[in-house]
Amino acid sequence: MMGFYILIGIISLVSMLVSNQLKSKFKKYSQVQLRNGMSGAEIAEKMLADNGIFDVKVISTPGRLTDHYNPKDKTVNLSEAVYNQRNAAAAAVAAHEVGHAVQHAKAYSYLTMRSQLVPIVSVTSKFSQWLVIGGLILGAASGAAGIGFYIAISGLVCMGFATLFSFVTLPVEYDASNRALAWLKNKNMVSREEYAGSKDALKWAARTYLVAALGSLAMLLYWGLQVLGGRD
């Protein structure tokens, strides 16, 4: 189990470093005020209108970095700071979340796939590791094709769904950022300095998803070796 704790430690450390850098970037670019004076909410509403989307609402949600797009009720949920503030960071986040709404309106394939995986992953992620550990305890690694082995394999399959979800999320997030940045630039919504800040902020936001995906893959490979490594 020592290898497991080392892996967890490495993943947690990298995740913490990227998260801290993200918070630092957003704090920095929150000081870069938009020359057009528009709030995050106004940015979001204009981008929706420019893309011919009129059935999506922009609402304020409590918390920090809690911004998200909800395809079920078609709402762009912006954290209170992003909703009200008028800076490069707020513009980046607001446009990014609208990017997801644009994906939804255009039936972007990866967003559709991720939405289909959500109910599966919400269930399987709760039991995957326990199934693997339980299977190993029952002797999955002994080489005998007993019930423990099949329990562990079912746990690996559940982990596989979570890993697939993490990697499907990557193109969804990167594409939303690309749509946001293209709109901000093409519509002259931001100055060169503001655009650079928005781009840098979104770059670090995307890296949090990349770290999560690599961490999920590392965990799947680790437990896969534990289950299958001892078999002939």
Task: Give the active site residues.
Answer: 97
Q: Exposure of 16 by Cβ count < 10 A (0-12 exposed, 13-18 middle, 19+ buried)? A: exposed
- Indicate if the alpha-carbon torsion angle 95, 101, 106, 112 is positive or negative: positive
Question: Where are the alpha helices (H) located in 106-191, listed in sequence order?
Answer: 109-137, 147-186
CA distance 144 to 184: 59
**Neighbouring C-beta atoms of residue 20, cutoff 10 Å:** 10
DSSP, collapsed to helix, strand or coil, labels residue 114 as helix
Phi, psi torsion values for 73, nearest 5 degrees:
-110, 10
CA distance 173 to 12: 21
Structure tokens given for 179: 């749509």
E strand or H helix that includes residue 200: helix 192-228
